[in-house]
Amino acid sequence: MIARKEILTDRLIINELQAHDHLFILELVNSPGWLEFIGDRNIQTPDDAVDYIEKITGSPHIKYWTVRLKADDHPAGIITLIKRDYLEYYDIGFAFLPEYTGAGYSSEATRAVLETLPEEVLSDKIVAVTTEENSRSVRLLEKLKFTFESRVEADGKILLQYALNTDEIRIGKIIRSFFSLFDNTLQEPDFRSIHDICSASVSIIRASGEHADLYGLESFIEPRKKMLTDGTLQQFSEFETDEETRIRGNIAQRYSKYSKKGWLNGDYFEGSGHKFFHLRKDTDGWKIAHVIWEDEV
């Protein structure tokens, strides 16, 4: 289904489930939340857990990822992707040990996995099913911009089906790629990738009070490339902290609230601001056509 690849986020390391994860799986599938909302899989021993993992990794229609904390490499939960017989589209799911719930790890990991999925999986939408009693799961799906679609019956249970338009995933990936262009915390940014996510005629505006600076693609990237590579701006990162996306046919708007931090000429600083992106979809997919931003003072 998907090539093996490690996924890194700010706090997490995400890898495909492996046989050596069996003790963690044994603990997870017997945790209270799993037993209440997913069901008893009758996995009682380490050998049972190994067998369970082998069934998962041997299926072309199932993929599990183990989510670990960067801080201590401890496994915290899983993200799942399953093509179920009773659903038209791929179903994404998540389950975390009790001590790792409520810290935002589930949404961070789920969003990261969604943005690595290939086009043959994305299709028109990704769905997620949960029970009405699982309010924590419902809140997380809503946070991830999934919307309620219908009730479905499976294994004698009535489940709530939520769905996410896959253009939301594609646009989210593009916007986060735009922000990552200016991140030099681990390595020099790949500035060439701006041509992959922006149209050649993109206009970029920096607003500051009553004044505004207008850039084209090259006039925008060149001075920032210099600052990020000559030592002027070090350990710099800029990232979304909130967003809202509206899609209408082949056009879209993304509002991003962002934070940034780094070292400018040897002095540490932090900041925040707002960006609006306008995007257009053509035969090559979504491209950024216009950006306007303003830093908070």
pLDDT tens for each residue of 250-270: 999 999 999 999 999 999 999
Give the lowest-confidence range in 2-11, 20-29, 98-107, 270-279: 2-11
Q: Are 155 and 87 in contact (CB under 8 A)?
A: no
**What percentage of residues in the chain have a pLDDT greater than 90?**
84
- Asked whether residue 9 carries a pLDDT value surpassing 90, the answer given is no
Summary mean pLDDT of the chain: 93
Q: What pTM does this model have?
A: 0.82
Q: Give long-range contacts, CB 8 A cutoff, 24+ apart: 115-118.
A: 115/169, 115/172, 115/173, 115/176, 116/2, 116/5, 116/7, 117/2, 117/81, 117/90, 117/169, 118/2
| pLDDT band at residue 1 using 50, 70 and 90 as cut-offs | low
Across residues 161-176, what is the average pLDDT?
94
- Asked whether residue 130 carries a pLDDT value surpassing 60, the answer given is yes
- Asked whether residue 277 carries a pLDDT value surpassing 90, the answer given is yes
| pLDDT band at residue 4 using 50, 70 and 90 as cut-offs | low
| pLDDT band at residue 10 using 50, 70 and 90 as cut-offs | confident
**The tokens of 171 are what?**
């646009």
Domains of the chain from N-terminus onward: 7-165 (3.40.630.30), 181-295 (3.10.450.50)
**The tokens of 271 are what?**
């900041």
For position 5, what pLDDT does the model report? Answer: 76
